[in-house]
Amino acid sequence: MEPPHSYLREPSASVVHHVDYLSARSDQALCGVAIQNATALAETASADALCPDCEAQLVIYHLEWWRSRALAVTAELEALRVKYPELVQSAGTESADVPVAEDEQDQVAESAPTEATTFLDRARRELAELCSQFDRAVPFFRLNKTMQDFSDKLNDNERAVLAREIGSGSSLIRWATTEVESLGLSVTNNRVQENSDMMWQDWLQESQQVPSKTKRRFGRSR
C-alpha cells in the first residue's frame, strides 16, 4: 500500500501539480501555487511533466500519511486488547512455554568451554593462551617458562601421571614444542631442536668411524 496521489492541471500550465494533501485546500497545489479553473486528475500520462516543487514536498506528505496509518493501527490494537483480554493473556502464556529450539541448544553447548579431562589437555590450554600472544613464532624461553610454571603447579603424583600421558620417549618441553608447530607456529631459538641436531651429528660421526683392527702377536709359548 502506498499513499494515494491526485493531480491538478491548469489549462495554460506546462506542468501538472499535486493536490495540496497537507492542508486539503482546493485552490492551491502542494507546492503552494494558487490554482484556478484546474482539472482534477486521478493519474497522469507518461508525457505529463510534474511540478518539481510539488515533488519535493511529497516526502512530508508521505511521512504524515504513514504516521497517521501507524497511529490508527496502534489504536485498533489497543481496542482489541481491551475487548479481548483473555486472548492477550493466553498468547503471553504460550510464548513463555515455547521450548528452546534444538539448534539453539546445540549452539549453547558448542559455545560452552569443555572441561579439561587430562593433564595434557590442561597443558594444551596453557599453550593455546601463550600462542595467542604471537603471530608466527613463539620464543623458546617463553615456551619453557610456561611449561615450567605449569609443571610447578602439579604435585609429584600429578607429574607422574603427566609423564605417562606424554610417554617415556619424550618430555614436557619436547611435547610442547611439537604442539606449537602443529598449530602452524615455529619456536625461535629452539633448544630442543638444537640438542637433537647435535646428538644426531655425534651419532653420525661415531657410526662412520672405522674400528681399528687389533694386531695379534704370534710367538712361542713359554
Round to whole Å and give the CA distance between 192 and 176: 10
Q: Are 133 and 186 in contact (CB under 8 A)?
A: no
- Give the other-Cβ count within 10 Å of 140's Cβ: 19
Continuous H helices in the chain? 52-83, 85-97, 102-111, 119-131, 140-152, 156-166, 172-182, 191-208
Round to whole Å and give the CA distance between 196 and 186: 16
Looking at residue 203, what is its pLDDT? 43
The per-residue pLDDT string of the chain (222 residues; one tens digit each, 9 = 90 and over) reads: 778 888 888 887 888 889 888 888 878 888 888 888 888 888 888 778 888 998 888 888 899 889 888 988 998 888 888 888 877 777 666 555 555 455 555 554 454 445 557 888 888 888 888 998 988 888 988 988 998 998 898 898 888 888 888 887 778 888 888 888 888 888 888 777 655 555 445 544 554 455 555 555 555 554
User: Which candidate, 182, 170, 92, 184, places its Cα nearest to that of 136?
Assistant: 184
Looking at residue 44, what is its pLDDT? 82
pTM of the model: 0.38
Question: Cell digits for 133?
Answer: 600472544
80, amino acid identity? L
- Over its C-alpha atoms, the chain yields an Rg (Å, rounded) of 44
